[in-house]
Chains A and B, each alone.
Chain A
Amino acid sequence: MGNRTVIPFGPQHPVLPEPIHLDLVLEDETVIEAVPQIGYIHRGLEKFVEKKDFKQYMFVAERICGICSFMHGLGYCISLENIMGIEVPARADFLRTMWTEFSRIHSHILWLGLLADSFGFESLFMHCWRLREQILDIFEETTGGRVIFSVCDIGGVRKDVSNETLKKIHDIMVSFEKELREITDVFEKDSSVKHRTVSVGVLSKGMAFDLGAAGPVARASGIEIDLRKTGYAAYDKLKFEPIIETAGDCYARTVVRIKELYQSIDLIKQCIELMPEGEVKVSYKGNPDGETYTRLEQPRGEVLYYAKANGSKFLDRYRVRTPTFANLAPLLEMLKGCSLADVPVIVLSIDPCISCTER
């Protein structure tokens, strides 16, 4: 047995933008155990629901995360719509789905860039983020925002997108796909990328299930779960199948996200082609009364919302369980037995968002 040492990893680390701390128990250069510590940015946003009325809280819900902001707003709106029995217009459902998929592209490209950065491939990192700008430009043109959009509302969406703009977006997606191929080819074929990701941080299918893994982490280990198949928003009208890989290593998690990028482009094209005409918002009266559970598929995986209302304008409880929280336990399993040098890549492979996690 080699010498055992404990090395603190984070909350500040050159390749880790998220403030998570890990106590790494090492035997020579091999990680034996990892103990996580979060809580550096706990903002109490769930508690805030008792202070802001349910219409105002929509804007707070979006601020849970800067990447999945639209989806957090969507989850909140769907929760309230379920409680209040509000039926959203079909066009609003399609617009919501389109923005949701743009959020997924935005998130996955951002993550691919960070992954490249984590193993020192700086030019690849810059190309990923350069391409991401096109998506942010589309967000800005259609919603008015690049990070926080405030376009989703209870009963529909605040802004319509003209059919001319939708046609333009469809054309952009065609050229975007070509540019994306040049970048993802590097991730899938370059030997230096494979050297740092293949057989690194392996999570078996059984462990992924037992540890409650979510999203691309679960799907890269062979678990077929994608909450979009439940048919929320307009997903029940679109054709797609969950992306599954079986190796369970960092490379498989990368490949799942890459394939999901192309899947998202296809879903956006389907949304535009099937976009119905009509209103984008319905009005409603009264305050919510009741409780509901809502689950969506965010870029990082399954998110759970629990909303409990009492008939007043303030909710009793709004609980958010984010995918990174679900992927913390699987991360600890992935780190067991890995080399110290691989820790940043493995941590990044779950696409951690600690702001989401701590809320």
Chain B
Amino acid sequence: MQQQTVKKIAPENLLSEVSTIKNNGYRFVAISCTKNGDDLAIVYSFDKDYDLLNLQLAAPGNSEVDSISCYFVPAFLYENEIKELFGIKVNNILLDYNDNFYKKAKSTPFNMKEDK
């Protein structure tokens, strides 16, 4: 049976944690984002031998996070997604669509002010 591990990290430690995970032979699975009270939480998921390791990072409103696409290339798709749907600023994305990844009727539809 697969194990699920959630590790909470600070934004400034993201790249060093991801670097360690990469060196330990993990496979990139996904980046997810969810509301966490009035703030947002970003979850980076990695797999090794069917065990799922999740790095959870608190992202207060208007915060910026670094892209992990320098370590895991496919992350650029997920980072464009959370940037457009939740409005999180992600720095140094390998391929930045500049808010043109999804065709949306409204800006940041998953994190609109009326939701709060």
Contacts of A276 in B (CB 8 A): none
> What does DSSP make chain A's interface, helix, strand, loop or mixed?
mixed
Complex interface: chain A residues within 8 A of B115 (CB): 50
Judge if A302 is at the interface, Cβ distance under 8 Å.
yes
A295 touches B102 (CB 8 A): no
In the complex, chain A residues whose CB is within 8 Å of the CB of B33: 319
Q: Does B43 contact A (CB under 8 A)?
A: yes
Contact pattern, A 90-103, Cβ under 8 Å of B = 1, otherwise 0:
00000000000000
In the assembled complex, the Cα of A319 lies from the Cα of B95 at a distance in Å of 23
The answer to whether A227 and B95 have CB atoms under 8 Å apart is no
Interface string of A21-63 (1 = CB under 8 A from B): 0000000000000010111101010110010000000000000
Q: Is A316 an interface residue (CB 8 A)?
A: yes
B29-53 interface bits toward A, Cβ cutoff 8 Å, 1 = contact, 0 = none: 1101111000000010101001010
Across the interface, do A329 and B73 meet the contact criterion of CB distance under 8 Å?
A: yes
For A358, list chain B residues within 8 Å (CB): 102
Q: How far is the CB of B1 from chain A (nearest CB, A)?
A: 6
B11 within 8 A of A: no
- State whether the Cβ of A183 lies closer than 8 Å to any Cβ in chain B: no
CB distance A317 to B34 under 8 Å? yes
Given contacts A212-B74, A293-B45, contact A302 B103 (CB under 8 A): no
Q: Which residues of A contact B30 (CB under 8 A)?
A: 304, 321, 325-326
> In whole angstroms, how far apart are the Cα atoms of A211 and B28 in the complex?
8
B4 at the interface (CB under 8 A from A): yes
Nearest chain B CB to A30's CB is how many angstroms away? 21
Separation in Å of the B42 CB from the closest CB of chain A?
11
B84 to chain A, nearest CB (A): 9
Q: How far is the CB of A303 from chain B (nearest CB, A)?
A: 10
The answer to the question of B89 belonging to the interface, with a C-beta cut-off of 8 Å to chain A, is no
Q: How far is the CA of A358 from the CA of B45 in the complex (A)?
A: 19
Question: Is there a chain B Cβ closer than 8 Å to A209's Cβ?
Answer: yes
A329 contacts B34, C-beta separation under 8 Å: no
Q: A212-B27, A325-B77 are in contact. Are A316 and B34 (CB under 8 A)?
A: yes
Interface bracket on B: 20 to 34
Given contacts A39-B101, A304-B45, contact A319 B74 (CB under 8 A): no
Q: Of B1, B4, B77, B109, which one neighbours A47 at CB under 8 angstroms? A: B109
B101 touches A295 (CB 8 A): no
Assuming the contacts A46-B110, A293-B45, asked whether A329 and B101 have C-beta atoms less than 8 A apart, the reply is no
A212 touches B2 (CB 8 A): no
A210-B73 contact, Cβ under 8 Å, with A39-B101, A358-B102: yes
Q: Is the CB of B50 within 8 A of A227?
A: yes
Q: Which residues of B contact A321 (CB under 8 A)?
A: 29-30, 32
Given that A39-B103, A40-B103, A317-B35 are known contacts, is A329 also in contact with B29, CB under 8 Å in the complex? no
Residues of B within 8 A of A50 (CB): 115
For A35, the chain B residues whose CB sits under 8 A away are: 95
A185 vs chain B, min Cβ distance (A): 34
Instruction: Mark each residue of chain B from 9 to 41: 1 if its CB lies under 8 Å from any CB of chain A, else 0.
Output: 000000000000000000111101111000000
Cβ-based interface call for A292 (8 A): yes
- Indicate if B104 sits at the interface (CB-CB under 8 A): yes
Docked Cα-Cα span, A281 to B21, in Å, equals 41
B67 contact set on A, CB distance < 8 A: none
B74 with A47: CB separation less than 8 A: no
- A129: chain B residues at CB < 8 Å are none
Please, which residues of chain B bring their CB within 8 A of the CB of A211?
73-74
Q: A212-B72, A229-B50, A306-B34 are in contact. Are A293 and B77 (CB under 8 A)?
A: no
Query: Contact between A42 and B34 (Cβ–Cβ < 8 Å)?
Result: no
Task: Return chain B residues, CB-CB under 8 Å to A316.
Answer: 34-35
Contacts of A292 in B (CB 8 A): 4
Inter-chain contact B104/A39, CB cutoff 8 Å: yes
Q: Quick check: A306 and B109 within 8 Å, CB to CB?
A: no
Report Cα–Cα, A319/B29, bound state, in Å.
13
Other CB < 8 Å A-B pairs besides A304-B30, A306-B32, A329-B76, 8 of them? A38-B102, A39-B104, A295-B52, A304-B32, A319-B33, A321-B32, A325-B30, A328-B77
Interchain residue pairs A-B with the least CB separation, the first 3: A39-B102, A329-B74, A321-B30
Identify 11 residue pairs between A and B in the complex whose beta-carbon atoms are under 8 Å apart, listed by A's number: A35-B95, A40-B103, A44-B109, A295-B52, A304-B29, A304-B45, A308-B34, A317-B34, A321-B29, A325-B30, A329-B77
